[in-house]
């Protein structure tokens, strides 16, 4: 089969569109003929390598996928050949106390599929093996590319805003990176929760996209003082919640933008993960800093209801062929994207 593979960590040149062995379905698994995949920043983290994180090589990335079941492993009773499915990103043991309680994210064997799994297990391939428990029927009204993009970003956003930060109606939520895949889902979900999304992005084109997603206010971080604009918008109070997946570069502004008693919820750090903070802000303003990581299958199904009801748009704006995964990653690294980027595999 054809796949995009890397055998060592490095820059874009380590990605090779090449032949790879076809997978087989183990117990509790199925093999999918991949129709589409969607891009996430963890593709770049995997390719570059992370300190103190060992990733299996050779590696096929791709955490989000959509395809057809072509092989069913032993013990699988809920899927059959020909089923069209999308993938839940969490690979777990399915038998420990955390898994049985529906908290797969705390399973000691939890791995993010297409990021920590392998060797050669991910969506950027013509065929891929996944646990049957990771599969869910494809929403009928979505294209393959849109269906593939309903996984990691949407799930992370739901857990951040609903489970962790517990966003309430009328809350004012500052959303960094609001024009990207994760950010555009966050803007939409904030609005659906009857809260007020304040989007932060970097250009007029991206600002218009944020407005289409439902942003009540849009700030351009390279032209405006974000903290000052937040004070103006909120009447000097500050926002209730900061939604962050950017990290070090925006951390000080995030803290400054919070109201007393406010919350930062963070799921990633694309600009660095070692911010500095004056701890007096933390205790004097009685702030809450919350970490959030992927999400449970139960949370994913809640989020998918909004997609299936056509209340939440899957913001795929560009689709690349499998052979051009390198160009999709280049667009992510250079921030030349709106919404989600997808990969057409078939």
What does the pLDDT read at residue 37? 98
What does the pLDDT read at residue 110? 96
Q: Is 184 a member of any domain?
A: yes
Reading the block at residue 94, the tokens are 């399915």
What is the mean pLDDT of the segment spanning 235-257?
93
Clarify whether residues 190 and 256 are in a common domain.
yes
What does the pLDDT read at residue 321? 98
Clarify whether residues 280 and 174 are in a common domain.
yes
Handedness of CA 62, 328, 146, 68 (dihedral sign): negative
Clarify whether residues 212 and 168 are in a common domain.
yes
Clarify whether residues 278 and 169 are in a common domain.
yes
What does the pLDDT read at residue 274? 86
At residue 319, does pLDDT exceed 90?
A: yes
What does the pLDDT read at residue 126? 98
- Minimum mean pLDDT range among 27-41, 46-60, 118-132, 231-245: 46-60
Clarify whether residues 36 and 124 are in a common domain.
yes
At residue 268, does pLDDT exceed 90?
A: no
Query: What long-range pairs does 23-27 form, CB within 8 A, spacing at least 24?
Result: 23/120, 23/121, 23/127, 23/128, 23/129, 24/71, 24/129, 25/71, 25/72, 25/73, 25/76, 25/129, 26/73, 26/74, 26/129, 27/73, 27/74, 27/75
What does the pLDDT read at residue 196? 98
CA end-to-end distance (rounded Å), the chain: 11
Count of domains forming the chain: 2
What is the mean pLDDT of the segment spanning 204-230?
96
pLDDT in tens, 325-336: 999 999 999 989
Q: Are 158 and 41 in contact (CB under 8 A)?
A: no
- Minimum mean pLDDT range among 270-279, 297-306, 310-319: 270-279
pLDDT in tens, 126-175: 999 999 999 999 999 999 999 999 999 999 999 999 999 999 999 999 99
Q: Is 301 a member of any domain?
A: no
Q: Is 104 a member of any domain?
A: yes
Burial (CB count within 10 angstroms: exposed 0-12, middle 13-18, buried 19+), residue 212? middle
What does the pLDDT read at residue 270? 80
At residue 53, does pLDDT exceed 90?
A: no
pTM (whole model) above 0.85 = yes
275 band by pLDDT with thresholds 50, 70 and 90:
confident
Q: Is 21 a member of any domain?
A: yes
DSSP string, 233-278: HTTTS-EEEEEESS-GGGHHHHHHHEEEEEEEEES--TT-S-----
294 φ, ψ to 5°?
Answer: 50, -130
Cα separation, 113 vs 121, in Å, equals 7
What does the pLDDT read at residue 72? 98
Q: Is 302 a member of any domain?
A: no
What is the mean pLDDT of the segment spanning 258-281?
89
Q: Chain-wide mean pLDDT for the chain?
A: 96
At residue 54, does pLDDT exceed 90?
A: no
Clarify whether residues 134 and 245 are in a common domain.
no
Contacts of 165 (CB under 8 A, 6+ apart): 241, 243, 263, 265, 290
What does the pLDDT read at residue 326? 97
- Residue 145: give the domain boundaries: 2-150+314-344
* CATH classification of the domain holding 82: 3.90.180.10
Clarify whether residues 136 and 171 are in a common domain.
no
Clarify whether residues 10 and 102 are in a common domain.
yes
At residue 178, does pLDDT exceed 90?
A: yes
What does the pLDDT read at residue 81? 98
Give the DSSP H/E element, type plus range, for residue 209.
helix 204-213
Burial (CB count within 10 angstroms: exposed 0-12, middle 13-18, buried 19+), residue 275? middle
Clarify whether residues 136 and 7 are in a common domain.
yes
């Amino acid at each position: 089969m054809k796949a995009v593979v890397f055998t060592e960590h490095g820059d874009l040149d380590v990605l090779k569109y090449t032949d790879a062995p076809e997978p087989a379905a183990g117990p509790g698994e199925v093999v999918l003929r991949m129709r589409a995949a969607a891009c996430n920043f963890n593709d770049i983290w995997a390719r570059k390598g992370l300190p103190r994180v060992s990733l299996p090589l050779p590696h096929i990335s791709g955490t989000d996928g959509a395809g057809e079941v072509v092989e069913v492993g032993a013990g699988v009773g809920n899927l059959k050949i020909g089923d069209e499915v999308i993938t839940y990103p969490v690979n777990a043991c399915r038998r420990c106390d955390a898994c049985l309680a529906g908290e797969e994210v705390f399973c000691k064997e939890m791995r993010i599929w297409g990021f920590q799994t392998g060797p050669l297990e991910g969506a950027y391939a013509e065929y891929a093996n996944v646990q049957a428990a990771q599969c869910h029927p494809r929403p009928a009204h979505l294209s393959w590319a849109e269906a593939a993009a309903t996984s990691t970003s949407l799930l992370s956003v739901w857990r951040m805003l609903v489970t962790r930060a517990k966003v309430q109606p009328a809350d004012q939520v500052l959303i960094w990176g609001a024009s990207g895949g994760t950010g555009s889902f966050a803007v939409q979900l904030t609005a659906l929760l009857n809260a007020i999304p304040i989007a932060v992005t970097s250009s007029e084109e991206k600002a218009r996209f944020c407005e289409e997603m439902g942003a009540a206010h849009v700030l351009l971080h390279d032209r405006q003082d974000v903290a000052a604009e937040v004070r103006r918008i909120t009447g000097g109070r500050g926002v209730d919640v900061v939604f962050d997946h950017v990290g070090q570069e925006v951390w000080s502004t995030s803290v400054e933008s919070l109201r007393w008693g406010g919350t930062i919820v963070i799921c990633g750090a694309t600009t660095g993960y070692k911010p500095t903070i004056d701890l007096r802000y933390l205790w004097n303003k009685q702030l809450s800093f919350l970490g959030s990581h992927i999400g449970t299958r139960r949370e994913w199904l809640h989020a998918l209801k909004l997609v299936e009801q056509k209340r939440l748009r899957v913001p795929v704006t560009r689709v690349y062929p499998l052979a051009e995964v390198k160009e999709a990653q280049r667009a992510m690294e250079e921030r030349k994207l709106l919404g989600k980027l997808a990969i057409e595999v078939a």
